[in-house]
Structure 1
Amino acid sequence: MSAPESTSNRFKRFMECGGLWRAMVFIAVYLALYTGAGLLAGKLFDDRIGDEPFGDTSTLFFELTLSLLVGSALLLAAVAALRWFQPLFGRQPVRGRAWMWIAPAVVVLAIVLRAAGTDYGRYSAGVIVLAYATGLLIGFAEEILARGIAIHMLRRAGYSEPAVMLLSSLLFALMHATNLISGQALGTVLLTMGFTFVFGIAMYLSLRATGFLIWPMLLHALTDPSTFLAVGGIDETAAGTSNTFTTLAGATLPAYALIAILSLFLVRGRAQPEKLMQG
């Protein structure tokens, strides 16, 4: 009589089959744990959380950073259990094209403009440092989910690269629907999801152009905190700002949409099975 299969082996076998619905299940479970950690932190440390997320380091840490630390640890444990460090962080199995460098160039331009347009006098030095440290966690967690695990699972299931690009970006956008739980207005959440879809395509192209997951992670890690600090909040807009640099950064939004449209016609290819390294 054979021994029962361990939970870790069942998890590994489930994930290695790849495919869209398995990626959705994994992301849903992660989001439930991540959101639960955030809600628990809000209950336990309510007296240390103020009204403004970037008002002080205590509020920022317990409202945002702590749950990201928990989520990042969970993702590291999952990748270690799957032995997917090499396929996720090694060179991409599908070569990029020269035109794809347009995407990271636009992302860098937006980051520089927002950084130049930020009124740093509004924040303490500790808040600024913690905001960028938190950005590293955001970049790591969201990119390893959407451009790492999700893309790897879609490729393992044999999806073409146009489908991989669109589906991983859609999953990335849907991840932000959880902002409804934190009390954000539906309109704000829908706008955020629209932006994250086209931004997700830009991150996919950055992954292809650079060949390594670490670069979209770093671009994402700088995008969020530079945006938060420039506009004064999470998922706020720069509407009404009189700062020239911030206004110009907001003008890059149509560029993301244009890049996404062009990508529908230009992205081609399919990952070869032998290049998708086994864990």
Structure 2
Amino acid sequence: MHEHDAPSPWKSFWERGGWWKALLLVLLYYGVYQLGGVLLNLIFGPAKIEPGGALGIFVGVGLPILLGCVLLVVLAWSVGWLKELFGHQAIRGRGWMWVAVAVVLITNVLRFVALDYESAGAALILSWMLTGLFVGFAEEVLTRGFVVQLMRKAGHPEIAVALVSAALFAMLHAGNFFNGQGALTTIVQVGYTFFFGLLMYLAYRVTGRLIVPILLHASTDPSIFLLTTHPAAGSLAPIAGLGNIIVILVGLVLMLVLIINGGKDRAIPRMAAN
């Protein structure tokens, strides 16, 4: 490698990986998200936008996360990781990991089927779908993209990659406690998001493409929040409402299977060109 081809200190910092860099990046992302929310509240607050309405969801939830999407793409570009993040990953999945994809897909479909679309209205549904796309992209690029790459570059086994990725994803949602959410609700949410994050890791692992957990995640948040506020009459809505419990139970089982059958797997590091 010629001297002028040597990576910059910025790129070298990220290429060496490490769990603490993953933690640092997640904390920085959370800080940017909170700051974006404060700034948008200052800008749009006087307009008294209805928090649960279509515009309120897009402005209050979607726009701060869209800012995070942009910054994550810029970071990936600055360190030369765009192809590495969105290309095919360096480790194969195992057949049983398809269960993670199936469970999330089925629970999301059930929730969408159980919605009262007339009550929700087209504007709110479209707002949540667009916001969900932002959420899926930002949180998956952050925790299944950057965090996974940083852990793998440091040489950690896949069980550590999976658990740290899921734990940092859950940590993002623990911050809701400081935004006024009740302690019990936050504890339940952290447990759910940990196992959901584990399923997203397995979906990424078995398909080899980050776009899969992005799309699965993008359809999860809208289906949960819309079903909570606009369930259709009948017996299907209560059944669909059990989706989070199913994710927790299946996630727990698959975590044990991962530990037993694939805990020592390691990604093949990419070698730098001479």
Q: TM > 0.5 between the two?
A: yes
Q: Contact 2:49 / 2:56 at 8 angstroms: preserved in 1?
A: yes
After the TM superposition, which residues 160-199 of structure 1 pair with which residues of structure 2 at under 5 Å, given as runs? 160-199=157-196
Q: Contact 1:49 / 1:58 at 8 angstroms: preserved in 2?
A: no
Mapped partners of 1:247, 1:66: distance in 2: 27
* Aligned CA distance change for structure 1 residues 167 and 75 (closer, same or farther; 3 Å): same
Aligned length: 261
What stretches of structure 2 of length at least 5 have no aligned partner? 1-6
- Deviation, structure 1 residue 195: 0.6
Q: Contact 2:91 / 2:266 at 8 angstroms: preserved in 1?
A: yes
Mapped partners of 2:210, 2:173: distance in 1: 21
After the TM superposition, which residues 28-43 of structure 1 pair with which residues of structure 2 at under 5 Å, given as runs? 28-43=27-42
- Deviation, structure 1 residue 122: 2.4
Structure 1 partner of 2:269: 273
Mapped partners of 1:172, 1:49: distance in 2: 31
- Deviation, structure 1 residue 203: 0.5
- Deviation, structure 1 residue 43: 2.3
Mapped partners of 1:49, 1:105: distance in 2: 41
2:243 to 249, 253, 278: 249
- 2:255 is equivalent to residue 260 of structure 1: yes
The 10-residue stretch of structure 1 (156-165 or 119-128) with the greater mean CA deviation from structure 2: 119-128
- 2:215 is equivalent to residue 221 of structure 1: no
Mapped partners of 1:49, 1:118: distance in 2: 27
1:147 to 141, 144, 148: 144
Identity fraction in percent = 37
Task: Encode CA deviations 1:51-106: one digit per residue, 9 max, x unaligned.
Answer: 542xx222112211110111111111111111101111111101011111011000
What stretches of structure 1 of length at least 5 have no aligned partner? 1-7, 234-240
1:199 alignment partner, SS class: helix
- Deviation, structure 1 residue 250: 4.6
Output the aligned Cα RMSD. 2.1
- 2:199 is equivalent to residue 202 of structure 1: yes
- Deviation, structure 1 residue 30: 1.5
- Deviation, structure 1 residue 50: 4.7
After the TM superposition, which residues 56-71 of structure 1 pair with which residues of structure 2 at under 5 Å, given as runs? 56-71=53-68
2:270 alignment partner, SS class: helix
Q: Contact 1:116 / 1:245 at 8 angstroms: preserved in 2?
A: no
